C-alpha cells in the first residue's frame, strides 16, 4: 500500500520540471501501433545516414549537361560515394554520408568534410529511377561541393539537429539525433509524459487552439517564396505559435501558382477553408501517423470530404458512374504533371470546382510584384525589408534590393541590434558603394553574431583595400573557420599570402579550394603560378 503510494507520488511531475527530448524510440513501448505505422511514413523516413540505405553494391554513371564531366555514384559494403572525372584525367569525389528525402519524388545527399556539411552535386530521381545532377547544379561548369548546409534544411527534415555555435555549417557528430520528423516534433519533448503517462504532460495538436495547432505543421510546411526568421526556429516546440518564430512571404500576384506556394498557403485559398474557417486543417484529411495505401486513397479522402459535404452536394455526381463519382479528389484535388522537383505542391490543395489549367494565367510571373506575408495584413518594416533583401540577393533583383534598402534602414534605426537586418543592410550599403556606412555595420555584426562568415569576408576585403594585409589575412582566416568552403575568399586569401611571401600557406589554401570546386579557374591559375 505504502510502496504503491510512493510510486504514485514519484510518477507525478516534479514541480517546475522542464520536459527533455527523449527520442521516438522511447514512445514505442506504450504506443506500439502508432509507432509502427508512423515509421512507414515519408515524414518518418525523410533523412538519415546512407549506411542504412543500400543493401546491395552498385555503380551508376551519368554525364553532365555539357558532356564534359562524368559522375559515378557507387555503393560498396554500405559506403555510398560520388566521383567525378573528365577526359584530361582530372577527378574529384567524396563519400555521401547522409540523405534527405524519403524518396517519394527525389532524394538529396549530404557530404561531410571535417565536421562541416555540404550538399552533394548528385541526387536520385525516383520517377525516372535515375541518378542525375542535383537541382540547380546544371549551372556549374565543373563539380561543385561547396554549397553549405544551413541548419534550417535539417530542422525540416530531421529531429534533434546539433549545429556547432559560431559556424555556418558545422555540426556535432552525429549532426542529428534522429532521422525524419520524430514524435516530439509534433508532440513536444516527452520525458515527463513517458514517465507519468498523463495526457496533461504531452502536447496533442488536436487539443490546441487553431493557430497553435496549425503551427505544428507550419514549422515545416509553410515556407512561402521566402521565410523570414523572427527568432531561432530551432527553439520552436509544439504548442507555440509559428508567427513568433518566422513569417512566410510570397509574391502578391502569384495567382494559384502551384510551384511557388506551400501546402499551407495553397489550402488557405480553398473555398472549403475560407468558408469553414479554422475547422478545416491539415489534420482534417491527413493522419500524421499513417499514409493510406494507393488502393485505399479514394475512399479515405472521400470520407473526409463527406464530414462537411453531403453526397448530393456535387452536381456532377448523377452524370458519372458511381465508382468515378466517388473519387472526389480525382476531380477536385488533381495532381500536377509529373515533376522531379522537391518543394513543389503536387496535389492542388486549393480544392477548385474544376481543375485549373496550370499553363493558363500563371504563364508570366511579375518578378517585381509586391511581397505579401502569409496570414498578416501589415508586416513590419524589418520583416518586409528582409523578405525583399533575401529574395533580391537570391534572384539578383535590383527592384527588390531597392525596396529592401529603405525598409531596413528604418528597421535598423528602431532596432540597431538585430543581426539579420544588419547583415543585409551592410551588404546593401556595400553594393551602393557607401563603404563608410557598411564597415561599422559589419564590425557590429561580427560582435553580436560571430557565426556569420559574410562580415569577416567583407571586412577582409576592406582591409586589403587599405593595404592592411595582415589584418585582411586574419579576417579571411576567421571567415573560413565559420564556413570553410568559400572559394572566392580562398583565392583572395591566397593572393594576400603570396604578397607576404607565404607561398606554402597559399598553396594549401588553394588546394583546399580545388577540393570543393576542382576546376575553379582563379584558383588553378594561381596554383600554376606557384609551381
Ligand atoms: C509509460 C507509457 C507511455 C510512454 C513511454 C509514452 N506514453 Fe503517451 N500516453 C500514455 C498513456 C497511458 C496515455 C493516455 C493518457 C490518458 O488518456 O489520460 C498517453 C497518451 C498520449 C497522447 C494523447 C494525449 C491527449 O491529449 O490525448 C499523446 C499525444 C502521447 N501519449 C504521445 C506520446 C509520445 C510522443 C511519447 C514519447 C515521447 C509517449 N507518448 C510515450 C503512455 C505513454
Ligand atoms: C519536422 C518537420 C515536419 C513537421 C513538423 C510536419 N511535417 Fe509533414 N513532411 C515533412 C517532410 C520533410 C515531408 C517530406 C517527406 C519525404 O521525404 O517524403 C513531409 C511530408 C508530409 C506528407 C506527405 C506524406 C508523407 O508522410 O510523406 C503529409 C501528408 C504531411 N507531411 C502532413 C503533415 C501534417 C498534417 C503535419 C502536422 C500535423 C506535418 N506534416 C508536420 C516535414 C514535416
Ligand atoms: C521549411 C522547411 C524545409 C526546408 C528548409 C527544407 N525542406 Fe525539403 N521538404 C520539406 C517538406 C515539407 C517537403 C515535402 C513536401 C513539399 O515538398 O512541400 C520536402 C521535400 C523535400 C524533398 C523531396 C522528398 C521526397 O521524398 O521526394 C527533398 C529531396 C528535400 N526536401 C530536400 C531538402 C534539402 C536538401 C534541404 C536543405 C538544403 C531542404 N529540403 C530544405 C521541408 C523543407
Ligand atoms: C507530423 C506530426 C506528428 C508526428 C511526427 C507524430 N504525431 Fe502523434 N499526433 C499528431 C496529431 C496531429 C495528432 C492528433 C490527431 C487527431 O486527433 O486529429 C496526434 C495524436 C497522437 C496521439 C493521441 C491520439 C491517437 O491517435 O491515439 C498519440 C498517442 C500520438 N499522437 C502518439 C505519437 C507517437 C508515439 C508518435 C511517434 C511514433 C507520433 N505521435 C508522431 C501528429 C504527429
Ligand atoms: C471542414 C469542412 C470541409 C471539408 C473537410 C471539405 N470541404 Fe469543401 N467546402 C466546405 C465549405 C464550407 C465550402 C463552401 C460552401 C459550399 O460550397 O458548400 C466548400 C466548398 C467546396 C467546393 C466549391 C469550391 C468553389 O470554388 O466554389 C468544392 C468543389 C469542395 N468544397 C470540394 C471538397 C472536397 C472534394 C473535399 C474533400 C477532399 C472537401 N471539399 C472537404 C467545407 C469543407
Ligand atoms: C481536403 C483534404 C486535404 C487537406 C485539408 C490537406 N490535404 Fe494534403 N493532400 C490531400 C490529398 C488528397 C493529397 C494527395 C494524396 C495522394 O495522392 O497520395 C495530399 C497530399 C499532400 C502532400 C504530399 C505532396 C503532394 O502535394 O501531393 C503533402 C506534403 C500534404 N498533402 C500536406 C498537407 C498539409 C501541410 C496540409 C495543411 C496545410 C494539408 N496537406 C491539408 C488532401 C488534403
Ligand atoms: C468527375 C468529376 C467530379 C467528381 C468525381 C466529383 N466532383 Fe464535385 N464537382 C465537379 C464539377 C465539374 C463541379 C462544378 C459544377 C459546376 O460548376 O456547375 C463540382 C462541384 C462540386 C461542389 C460545389 C457545388 C456547389 O453547388 O457549389 C462540391 C461541394 C463538390 N463538387 C463536392 C464533391 C465531392 C464531395 C465529391 C466526392 C463525393 C465530388 N465533388 C466528386 C466534378 C466532380
pLDDT in tens, 349-406: 999 998 876 654 445 678 899 999 999 999 999 999 999 999 999 999 999 999 999 9
Whether the CB-CB separation of 260 and 226 falls below 8 Å is answered with no
- Using the predicted structure, report yes or no on whether residue 90 has a pLDDT greater than 50: yes
Residue 155 has pLDDT above 90, yes or no: yes
Residue scoring higher pLDDT (66 or 475) = 475
436 within ligand 7 shell (Cβ under 6 A): no
How far is it, in rounded angstroms, from Cα 192 to Cα 20?
8
Distant-in-sequence, close-in-space partners of 334: CB < 8 Å, separation ≥ 6: 347, 348, 355
Provide CB contacts within 8 A for 529, sequence distance 6+.
none
Q: Three cell numbers at 230?
A: 523572427
Distance CA 16, CA 10 (A): 14
Between CA 304 and CA 311 the distance in angstroms is 12
Q: Is 283 in the pocket of ligand 2 (CB under 6 A)?
A: yes
Report whether residue 486 contacts ligand 3, using a CB cutoff of 6 Å: no
Query: Does the beta carbon of 280 sit less than 6 angstroms from any atom of ligand 6?
Result: yes
Q: Is the pLDDT of residue 254 over 60?
A: no
Q: Which three cell numbers stand for residue 197?
A: 503517462
Rounded to 5°, the CA angle 353-356-357 comes to 155
Other Cβ atoms within 10 Å of 83 Cβ, number: 16
Q: Are 466 and 435 in contact (CB under 8 A)?
A: no
Q: How confident is the model at residue 120 (pLDDT cuts 50, 70, 90)?
A: very high
Q: Environment class of residue 447 by beta-carbon count within 10 Å: exposed (0-12), middle (13-18) or buried (19+)?
A: exposed
Contact (CB, 8 A) for 270 and 278: no
- The Cα–Cα gap between 299 and 320 comes to 16
Average pLDDT estimate for 121-137: 94
Q: Is the CB of 188 under 6 A from ligand 2?
A: no
Q: For a pocket test of ligand 2, which of 153, 221, 335 has the largest count of ligand atoms closer than 8 A to its C-beta?
A: 221
Q: Which candidate, 139, 141, 136, 125, places its Cα nearest to that of 84?
A: 141
CA distances from 400 to 254, 260, 482, 498 (A): 16, 18, 28, 39
- Average pLDDT for the chain: 92
What atom of ligand 5 comes closest to residue 284's alpha carbon?
A: 5
Considering only CA atoms, which residue is closest to atom 7 of ligand 5? 272
- pLDDT of res. 509: 98
Evaluate whether 80 touches 96 at the Cβ level (below 8 Å).
yes
CA–CA distance, 426 with 434 (Å, rounded to integer): 9
For the chain, give the number of residues. 531
Under 8 Å between Cβ of 48 and 99: yes
CB-based contacts of 139, cutoff 8 Å, min separation 6: none
Residue 9 confidence class, pLDDT cut points 50, 70, 90: very low
Residue given cell 513517458 in the structure block? 194
Going by alpha carbons, the residue nearest to atom 41 of ligand 4 is 183
Q: What is the mean pLDDT of residues 237-242?
A: 98
Task: Look at residue 54 in the predicted model and tell me its pLDDT.
Answer: 82
Between 509 and 136, the more confident residue is 509
Q: Rounded distance, CA 417 to CA 413, Å?
A: 9
How far away, in angstroms, is 295 Cα from ligand 7 center? 22
Contact assessment for residue 179 and residue 45, using Cβ atoms and an 8 Å cutoff: yes
Q: Which pairs count as long-range contacts for 33-39, CB under 8 Å and 24+ apart, including other chains?
A: 34/289, 35/183, 37/289, 37/290, 38/183, 38/288, 38/289, 38/290
| Sign of the alpha-carbon torsion through 241, 245, 250, 256 | negative
Whether 267 is in the pocket of ligand 5, judged by its Cβ within 6 Å, is no
> Is 515 near ligand 2, meaning CB less than 6 Å away?
no
State the pLDDT confidence band at 345, using cuts at 50, 70 and 90. confident
Only one residue has cell 551602393, namely 432
Q: How confident is the model at residue 253 (pLDDT cuts 50, 70, 90)?
A: low
Q: Are 197 and 356 in contact (CB under 8 A)?
A: no
| pLDDT tens per residue, range 415-466 | 999 999 999 999 999 999 999 999 999 999 999 999 999 999 999 999 999 9
For the Cβ of 104 lying below 6 angstroms from any atom of ligand 3, the answer is yes
Residue 12 in this model has a pLDDT that exceeds 60:
no
Cell triple for 468: 592592411
Q: What is the pLDDT of residue 341?
A: 78
Determine if ligand 5 sits within 6 Å of the CB of residue 332: yes
* Interval 331-338 mean pLDDT: 86
Q: What is the pLDDT of residue 317?
A: 67
Neighbouring residues of 431: CB distance < 8 A, sequence distance ≥ 6: 401
Q: Which residue has the cell 473519387?
A: 327
Average pLDDT rounded to a whole number, residues 171-188: 98
Task: Say which range, 283-297, 349-363, 375-389, 493-507, has the weakest mean pLDDT.
Answer: 349-363
Give the pLDDT score at 204.
98
Interacting residues of 316 by C-beta distance below 8 A, sequence separation 6+: 325, 331
Residue 314: HSE in the Cβ half-sphere, 13 Å Cα cutoff: 23
What pLDDT score was predicted for residue 505?
Answer: 97
Cell of 354: 474544376
Cβ of 104 below 6 Å from ligand 2: yes
Q: Measured between alpha carbons, how far is 233 from 227 in angstroms, rounded to an integer?
A: 11
Mutate to test the pocket of ligand 2, among 220, 234, 335 (most ligand atoms within 8 A of CB): 220
CA angle at 445 for the pair 460 and 466, rounded to the nearest 5°? 25
Rounded distance between C-alpha atoms, residue 442 and residue 460, angstroms: 11
Q: Residue 1: which pLDDT band, with cuts at 50, 70 and 90?
A: very low
Confidence of residue 344 (pLDDT cuts 50, 70, 90): confident
Is the CB–ligand 6 distance for residue 333 below 6 Å? Answer: yes
pLDDT score recorded for residue 16: 66
Ligand 7: which of 314, 318, 331 to mutate, most ligand atoms within 8 Å of CB? Answer: 314
Cβ of 331 less than 6 Å from ligand 7: yes
Q: Is the model more confident about 9 or about 297? A: 297
Q: Is the CB of 105 under 6 A from ligand 3?
A: yes
Of the residues 39, 204, 279, which should be mutated to test ligand 4's pocket, given the most ligand atoms within 8 Å of the CB?
204
Distance 133 CA to ligand 2 centre (A): 25
CA-only gyration radius of the chain, Å: 26
Is the pLDDT assigned to residue 2 strictly greater than 50? no
Do 408 and 419 meet the contact criterion of CB atoms below 8 Å apart? Answer: no
Residue 268, ligand 6, Cβ within 6 A: no
Amino acid at each position: 500500500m505504502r510502496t504503491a503510494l510512493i510510486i504514485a507520488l514519484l510518477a507525478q511531475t516534479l514541480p517546475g520540471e522542464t520536459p527533455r527530448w527523449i527520442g521516438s524510440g522511447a514512445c514505442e513501448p506504450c504506443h506500439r501501433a502508432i509507432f509502427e505505422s508512423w515509421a512507414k511514413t515519408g515524414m518518418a523516413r525523410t533523412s538519415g545516414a546512407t549506411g542504412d540505405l543500400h543493401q546491395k553494391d552498385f555503380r551508376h554513371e551519368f554525364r553532365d549537361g555539357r558532356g564534359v564531366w562524368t559522375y559515378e555514384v557507387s555503393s560498396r559494403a554500405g559506403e555510398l560515394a560520388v566521383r567525378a572525372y573528365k577526359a584530361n584525367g582530372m577527378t574529384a569525389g567524396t563519400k555521401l554520408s547522409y540523405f534527405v528525402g524519403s524518396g517519394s519524388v527525389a532524394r538529396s545527399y549530404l557530404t561531410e568534410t571535417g565536421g562541416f556539411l555540404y550538399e552533394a552535386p548528385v541526387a536520385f530521381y525516383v520517377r525516372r529511377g535515375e541518378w542525375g545532377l542535383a537541382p540547380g547544379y546544371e549551372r556549374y561548369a565543373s563539380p561543385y561541393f561547396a554549397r553549405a548546409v544551413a541548419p534550417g534544411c535539417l530542422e525540416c527534415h530531421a529531429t534533434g539537429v546539433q549545429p556547432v555555435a559560431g559556424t555556418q555549417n558545422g555540426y556535432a557528430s552525429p549532426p542529428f539525433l534522429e532521422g525524419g520528423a520524430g514524435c516530439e516534433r509534433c508532440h513536444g519533448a516527452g520525458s515527463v509524459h513517458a514517465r507519468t503517462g498523463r495526457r496533461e504532460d504531452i502536447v496533442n495538436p488536436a487539443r490546441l487552439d487553431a493557430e497553435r495547432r496549425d503551427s505544428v505543421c507550419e514549422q515545416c510546411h509553410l515556407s512561402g517564396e521566402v521565410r523570414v526568421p523572427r527568432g531561432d526556429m530551432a527553439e520552436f516546440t509544439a504548442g507555440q505559435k509559428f508567427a513568433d518564430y518566422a513569417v512566410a512571404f510570397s509574391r502578391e500576384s502569384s495567382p494559384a501558382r502551384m510551384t511557388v506556394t506551400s501546402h499551407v498557403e495553397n489550402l488557405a485559398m480553398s473555398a472549403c477553408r475560407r468558408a469553414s474557417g479554422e475547422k478545416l486543417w491539415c489534420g482534417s484529411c491527413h493522419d500524421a501517423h499513417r499514409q493510406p495505401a494507393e488502393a485505399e486513397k479514394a475512399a479515405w479522402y472521400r470520407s473526409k470530404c463527406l464530414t462537411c459535404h453531403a453526397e448530393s452536394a456535387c452536381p456532377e455526381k448523377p452524370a458519372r458512374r458511381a465508382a468515378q463519382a466517388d473519387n472526389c479528389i480525382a476531380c477536385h484535388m488533381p495532381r500536377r504533371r509529373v515533376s522531379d522537383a522537391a518543394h513543389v505542391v503536387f496535389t492542388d490543395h486549393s480544392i477548385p470546382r474544376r481543375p485549373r489549367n496550370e499553363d493558363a494565367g500563371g504563364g508570366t510571373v511579375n518578378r517585381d510584384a509586391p511581397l505579401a506575408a502569409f496570414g498578416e495584413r501589415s508586416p513590419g518594416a524589418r520583416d518586409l525589408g528582409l523578405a525583399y533583401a533575401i529574395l533580391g540577393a537570391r534572384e539578383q533583383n535590383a527592384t527588390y534590393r531597392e525596396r529592401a534598402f529603405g525598409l531596413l534602414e528604418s528597421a535598423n534605426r528602431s532596432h540597431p541590434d538585430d543581426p539579420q537586418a544588419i547583415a543585409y543592410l551592410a551588404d546593401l550599403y556595400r553594393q551602393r558603394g557607401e563603404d563608410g556606412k557598411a564597415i561599422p555595420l559589419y564590425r557590429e555584426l561580427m560582435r553580436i553574431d560571430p557565426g556569420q562568415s559574410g562580415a569577416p569576408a567583407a571586412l577582409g576585403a576592406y582591409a586589403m583595400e587599405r593595404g592592411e594585409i595582415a589584418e585582411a589575412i586574419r579576417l579571411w582566416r576567421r571567415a573560413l573557420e565559420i564556413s570553410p568552403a568559400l572559394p572566392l575568399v580562398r583565392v583572395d586569401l591566397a593572393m594576400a599570402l603570396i604578397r607576404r611571401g607565404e607561398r606554402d600557406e597559399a598553396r594549401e589554401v588553394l588546394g583546399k579550394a580545388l577540393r570543393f570546386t576542382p576546376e575553379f579557374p582563379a584558383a588553378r591559375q594561381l596554383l600554376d603560378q606557384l609551381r
